Structure 1
Amino acid sequence: MFSRLFLVFLIVPVIEIYLLIKVGSVIGGVPTVLALLLISAIGAYLVKSQGLKTFSMIRSELGHGHLPAAQLLDAFLILVGGLLLMTPGFFTDFLGIFFLIPATRILIKRWLGLWLQAKLASGRFVMRRH
């Protein structure tokens, strides 16, 4: 697990620097910074609108006496998307927006479900009670 995190923290900045240099060499420095600011503004709008919508759905489910598991997962994915958008760079901005769009968030939730099923089926995911 540690080696995977190490690789992520090593590879992602290299990707970001590479993309910033490539985009900056094509469109220039100022347009590159403006593009990053525009993407961040769009992302902030998506975080706010999707977060408020999800919060409303959580309140509604709780009001009906249901556990809002799917909505809580949505809220977590929106949080991750917002954190990715706070990281400067095109790669993390793309990933962050991917987490914020409802249609792509469905794909992420399906992938997480399949991943969890595979872990449970193989016995590599064990829940312990204390």
Structure 2
Amino acid sequence: MLKWIIAAIIVFPAIEMWGILRVGHWIGGWLTFGLLLLSAVAGARLAKSEGRKALMEVQSQLQSGRPPGHAMLNGVCVLAGGVLLLLPGFLSDIVGITLLLPVTRPFYRLLMLRWLEKKLRSGSFVIRRR
């Protein structure tokens, strides 16, 4: 697991930097900076809006006595998408936007459900009480 984290810390920023430099070469530095700034501002607004919707959905499901499984995963997607949009880079912006859009969010929710199910079945997902 540590190898994957170290690889992500090295590879992901390198890809982002390469993308920023390529786009800067194609359209110019100031336009690239403007695009990155615009994506951060628009992403923050979209994350705020979608986050409110996810929170209201969780609250309504809890009030009706239903478990808020999908609503909680939507909230996780919105949070991750918002964080990714605040990071500088175009790859993180693309993934962040797809995490925030209600049309593409079910794909990520399905990936998370499969991952959680695999962890629960193998017994490697443990909840500890203090």
Indicate whether the TM-score tops 0.5. Answer: yes
1:83 and 1:94 map into 2 onto residues whose CA distance is: 12
2:74 and 2:36 map into 1 onto residues whose CA distance is: 25
Q: Which moved more, 1:45-54 or 1:107-116?
A: 107-116
TM-score by length of 2: 0.88
> Structure 1 residues 66 and 33, CA, compared in 2 at 3 Å: closer, same or farther?
same
1:81 matches 2:81 = yes
1:95 matches 2:91 = no
Could you say which residue in structure 2 is the equivalent of 1:65? Answer: 65
1:13 matches 2:30 = no
1:56-75 Cα distance to aligned partner (Å, 9 max, x none): 11111111122212111111
Q: CA deviation at 1:124?
A: 6.3
Q: Which moved more, 1:11-20 or 1:93-102?
A: 93-102
Runs of at least 5 residues in structure 2 that lack an aligned partner in the other structure: none
Q: CA deviation at 1:113?
A: 2.2
Could you say which residue in structure 1 is the equivalent of 2:38? Answer: 38
1:117 and 1:62 map into 2 onto residues whose CA distance is: 22
Percentage of identical aligned residues: 35
Could you say which residue in structure 1 is the equivalent of 2:113? Answer: 113
> Structure 1 residues 127 and 24, CA, compared in 2 at 3 Å: closer, same or farther?
same
TM-score by length of 1: 0.88
